[in-house]
């Protein structure tokens, strides 16, 4: 890839990666450690992700087991999970916290799929905005006679190819996540 397109490619890749992380944190019916990625606890005055203060593992495919390194964090972790939008009530037995993932209702599955569509469209809009910014940069270079008309046309083709590639990847990610959510 030419250096002049690298920044655009990197920005688009970051957008795709952010969506992938968001998709990973959406809970399907199976337990997934990534659902805790956005939940932090107050540890010695610092907001810290749960995975950094506890061992998190999957039990029997439907339960997450959270074992804090410091037992005094049990109540703090339990509270953080309760106030999050996870929708699962933690069970604290004094040593570990268990999160049992109930199967999703059909209505909830459809709601999640709708959210996936919105998230995907937002990411594709961000990709198109990155394309616009890149093209404006090349047009400004053309106006200053730093590049030729042919260079501008080639840049437009390359940037459009990058845009198409990332939009297809986002569509594929969405389809895979929808399939995961809708499978019972």
- Please indicate whether residue 35 or residue 1 has the higher confidence score (pLDDT): 35
Q: How far is CA 172 from CA 7, 9, 70, 132, 180, in A?
A: 23, 18, 41, 23, 12
pLDDT in the model for residue 184: 60
Looking at 3.30.565.10, 1.10.132.20, 3.40.50.620, 3.40.50.10600, the CATH number of the domain 3-24+105-182 comes to 1.10.132.20
Q: 33-100 architecture in CATH?
A: 2-Layer Sandwich (3.30)
pLDDT in the model for residue 9: 94
Confidence grade of residue 73 (pLDDT, cut at 50, 70, 90): confident
Mean pLDDT of the chain: 88
- List, for residues 33-71, the tens digit of each pLDDT value: 877 888 888 888 889 888 889 988 888 878 889 899 988
pLDDT in the model for residue 29: 65
CATH 1.10.132.20 maps onto the chain at 3-24+105-182
Separation between Cα atoms, residue 86 and residue 26, nearest integer Å = 9
Q: Is the pTM of this model over 0.75?
A: no
- List, for residues 9-25, the tens digit of each pLDDT value: 999 999 999 999 888 87
- Please indicate whether residue 184 or residue 141 has the higher confidence score (pLDDT): 141
Q: Residue 129 above 90 pLDDT?
A: yes
| Contact in structure between 127 and 167 (CB atoms under 8 Å) | yes
pLDDT in the model for residue 59: 85
- List, for residues 132-157, the tens digit of each pLDDT value: 999 999 999 999 989 899 999 999 99
pLDDT in the model for residue 17: 96
Phi, psi of 42 (to 5 degrees): -85, 110
CATH 3.30.1360.40 maps onto the chain at 33-100
The mean pLDDT value for 70-95 works out to 86
Using only C-alpha atoms, what is the Rg of the chain?
22
pLDDT in the model for residue 1: 61
Structure tokens at 36: 């805790």
pLDDT in the model for residue 173: 95
């Amino acid at each position: 890839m030419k250096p002049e397109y690298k920044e655009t490619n990197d920005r688009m890749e970051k957008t795709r990666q952010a969506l992938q992380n968001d998709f990973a944190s959406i809970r399907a019916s199976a337990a997934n450690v990534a659902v805790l990625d956005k939940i932090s606890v107050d540890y010695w005055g610092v907001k810290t992700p749960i995975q950094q203060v506890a061992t998190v593992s999957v039990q029997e495919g439907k339960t997450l087991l959270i074992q804090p390194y410091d037992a005094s964090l049990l109540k703090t972790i339990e509270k953080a999970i309760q106030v999050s939008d996870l929708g699962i009530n933690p069970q604290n037995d004094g040593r570990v916290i268990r999160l049992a993932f109930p199967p999703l209702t059909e209505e909830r599955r459809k709601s999640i799929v709708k959210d996936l569509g919105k998230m995907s469209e937002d990411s594709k809009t961000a990709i198109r905005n990155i394309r616009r910014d890149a093209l404006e940069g090349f047009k400004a270079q053309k106006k200053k006679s730093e590049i030729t008309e042919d260079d501008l046309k080639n840049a437009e083709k390359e940037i459009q190819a990058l845009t198409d590639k990332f939009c297809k990847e986002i569509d594929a990610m969405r389809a895979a996540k929808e399939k995961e959510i809708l499978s019972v």
